[in-house]
Amino acid sequence: MKKSTITPNVHTLSHFYIPQLQRYRNIHIYLPPNYAQNGQRYPVIYMQDGQNLFNAATAFAREWKIDKTLNQLYQKKKTPSIIVGIENGGQHRQDEYAPFQRGKMGGGNADNYLHFITTTLKPYIDHHYNTLINRENTGIVGSSMGGLLSFYAGLRFPHYFGKIGVLSPSLWYNPQVYEMAKQPTQWVSQWYVSGSKTESKYMASSLEGVYWALKTAGHHDWALQVAVRDRGRHNEFFWGNEFKKMYQWWFT
Taking only the tens place, the pLDDT of each residue in 56-100 is 999 988 999 999 999 999 999 889 999 999 999 999 999 999 999
pLDDT value at position 82? 98
pLDDT value at position 36? 87
The residues spanned by each domain of the chain are 10-251
Write the pLDDT tens digit of every residue in 174-222. 999 999 999 999 999 999 999 999 999 999 999 999 999 999 999 999 9
CATH code given to domain 10-251: 3.40.50.1820
Contacts for 129 with CB less than 8 Å, ≥ 6 apart: 29, 31, 42, 44, 82
The rounded mean pLDDT for the chain is 96
Q: Is 10 helix (H, G, I), strand (E, B) or coil?
A: strand
- Is residue 30 within 8 A of residue 52, CB to CB? The reply is no
The whole-angstrom separation of Cα 185 and Cα 182 is 9
Instruction: Examine the pLDDT at 15 and tell me if it is beyond 90.
Output: yes
pLDDT value at position 144? 98
The CA distances from residue 109 to 23, 98, 177, in Å, are: 13, 7, 15
SS3 content of the chain, % helix, strand, coil (to 5): 40, 20, 40
As a three-state string, the secondary structure of 184-246 is CCCCCCEEEEEEECCCCCCHHHHHHHHHHHHHHHCCCHHHEEEEEECCCCCCHHHHHHHHHHH
Q: How much is the average pLDDT of 145-154?
A: 98
Give the single-character DSSP code of 61: S
pLDDT value at position 37? 86
pLDDT value at position 2? 82
Strand-pairing partners, residue 83, are 30, 45
The whole-angstrom separation of Cα 139 and Cα 78 is 17
Q: Half-sphere exposure of residue 156, counting CA atoms within 13 Å on the CB side? A: 21
pLDDT value at position 1? 72
Q: Is 142 helix (H, G, I), strand (E, B) or coil?
A: strand
Amino acid at 84: V
Contacts for 56 with CB less than 8 Å, ≥ 6 apart: 2, 3, 4, 5, 62, 63
The whole-angstrom separation of Cα 103 and Cα 116 is 24
